[in-house]
Amino acid sequence: MSERGDAGRGDIDAYASVAALFDAMSTPLRAALVHRLCAGEQTVGDLVEWTGRSQPLVSQHLRILRTARLVSGERRGREVVYSLTDEHVAHVLLDAFQHTQENHL
């Protein structure tokens, strides 16, 4: 299979993990959190301040992103610092963001 090629005729199940990735980023807040984490590590407090949303709401969305293995959290003293688990996630989000900003949708 080439990078942009055919995964095989009728091999729809091969796309389950792709669908799960996009599902995890399917809300504007989760997409924004991933976008912010593209710039580097952030605490929950940093993300709350940046989004202007409540701490419980941001934490709930971070939990969904953690469950999807898109972000990870590391406790440092009294804070949890979040980061992307894989640079590929950053590329997917940044490409999608750029695509939408160029009025392709």
In a domain, 60, yes or no: yes
Is 0.85 surpassed by the pTM of this model?
Answer: no
In a domain, 5, yes or no: no
Q: Which residues contact 50 (CB under 8 A, 6 or more apart)?
A: 36, 42
Owning domain of residue 71: 12-101
Domain of 86, CATH number, reads 1.10.10.10
Strand residues in 25-67 grouped as ranges (E): 42-43
Measured distance CA(85)–CA(96) in Å, rounded: 18
Q: Take residue 14 and report the two structure tokens written for it.
A: 């091969």
In a domain, 6, yes or no: no
Per-residue pLDDT of the chain (105 residues; tens, 9 = 90+): 445 555 566 788 889 988 998 999 999 999 999 999 999 999 999 999 999 999 999 999 999 999 999 999 999 999 999 999 998 888 888 888 888 888 765
Domain count, the chain: 1
